[in-house]
Structure 1
Amino acid sequence: MANTPYCDDTALVKRARDGDAAAFEVLVRRHQDTVYRIALRVLNDPADAADASQEALVAAWRRLPDLDDPATFRAWLYRIVTRRALNTARARTPESPSDLLEGERTGRGAGPEHHTVASGLRDALAQALLDLPPQQRVCWILYEMEQMTYGEIAETVGVTTDAVRGRIHRARSHLVEALKPWR
């Protein structure tokens, strides 16, 4: 078990399906930050994101035996959290942008003017993201911020790659228009 942290996800999933809770714990540690970040960017509320993340990880543990292909664990887990977050988002309307872009900060060496402009642009982008329909927002976030491929996103959100391309294109068009004042 000493080498568990160095196993790939597929091996860990197989071990976890055989009842190895420590293997699943390693999977959780590997993916929990991304799971939370996806939920936060979709929901724009840290408490709701934490709840959705927790629920997604518990659901993944419970439904792990139902996962057909252990090699698809990452996309499967991200699909679970995306659906949880979208269901929560549909149940309420976000009031204002907070920190959708958590972790997307400017460098330390920049001066106050740069920080002010960057902060305003970041807030404008956060608001523009909130104005997107949730399905477009999720696809854009997974592509641009999580560097997932169209195929991975399609698998995650349960649509075709063409649908993902269309959603990302519409999201980009909206964001370009919304951010015109910042050019």
Structure 2
Amino acid sequence: MFAFATALLAALPLAFGSSGPAPVGIDEKAPVISRDDIVIHAPLDRVWRIQTDVEGWPAWQPGVSSSVKRTPGPLRPGSSWVWSTEGLEDITSTVEQVRPKRRIVWGGPAQGITAVHVWTFTPVKGGVHVRTEESWSGAPVDADTAYLQKALDASLDAWLHHLKQRAEQRHPKSPCGERA
């Protein structure tokens, strides 16, 4: 059951809002909110590239079996991709806001849950402080808030640690053979 909730979480990096100058944020009134952060000892360019290369996720994110961009070029408001994780297939996520190498918010509802997922990247001495926060609301969340809170907390922690591991590799390679 935890694997399903983790998969559901991985399928829900979602957001809603404008692409204007005001930051898009999580739903502070949602019954499930998780925040986590990590310092990654790697250049900001590398961390950003790995996280926003959605087609490369299957190479470093266990459970993500496929991810295909629908919109060419760098991620920007309106960019979307279709991906599969942990048995959930054909998930469509859409970028709502991007501040290159600083912040990205993406979204799209799944399985009756509305989520908002925000990533923030801040340069620090020796690396990058990566912060992620996500909110979930909807009938499935109301039905089992405690369980889904634990699942969301665990999933964000795992995602950050996998990102850290990938970015801190001495010579990480992208799926197409380029150095990351």
Which TM-score band applies after superposition, normalised by the shorter structure?
under 0.3
More helix by share: 1
The normalised TM-score by structure 1 is: 0.23
> Which is strand-richer, 1 or 2?
2
TM-score (norm 2): 0.23
